[in-house]
Amino acid sequence: MEKAGFTLLEVIIAVTIAVLLASVVGVNVLGLPQKHKRDAAKMQIESFKTALALYEDDNGRVPTARQGLEALVAPSALEPAPRAFRPGGYLESLSVPDDPWGRPYAYVVPGPGGKPFDVVCYGADGEAGGEGFDADLSAWDAAKP
């Protein structure tokens, strides 16, 4: 008569396989929240680029650095005043959103290389420079992978 059940060796092999699979899946999943935040920042920066292009079409220039991105949601009281501000503004939201890490985007006028502006997210660490998830995202490189 045979006894049903697993030997100690079979249990050890099964546990080892389960631990290996869990570690591989865990390592891949741990970076997902930061990757999603970077992707969200890239999409938001592209939205700012579109809104700033529309603002420039309507007003002949982008908002000044002093007027900031807030000039996309409400007409700025600072000179030069917009000549043709769109009702409802240029963003879908009623306020300028922060980056996915909860910090304001940097708005620079003029931008690099003769560009009229730049919108920058300083990544996970919130500081200029960095690598990986800490790397900066710019309006002129946000479309890059």
pLDDT tens per residue across span 20-75 = 776 666 545 555 688 889 899 999 999 999 999 999 999 999 999 999 999 999 99
For residues 101 and 98, give the distance between their C-alpha atoms in angstroms, rounded to a whole number. Answer: 8
Give me the mean pLDDT over the 93-111 stretch: 94
Q: Pick the range with the lowest mean pLDDT from 14-23, 76-85, 109-118.
A: 14-23
What does pTM read for this prediction? 0.75
For residues 61 and 36, give the distance between their C-alpha atoms in angstroms, rounded to a whole number. Answer: 33
pLDDT band at 2 (very low <50, low <70, confident <90, very high): low
One of 3.40.920.10, 3.30.700.10, 3.40.50.300, 3.30.70.100 is the CATH number of 35-138, namely 3.30.700.10
Q: If you ran DSSP here, which 8-state letter would residue 107 be given?
A: E
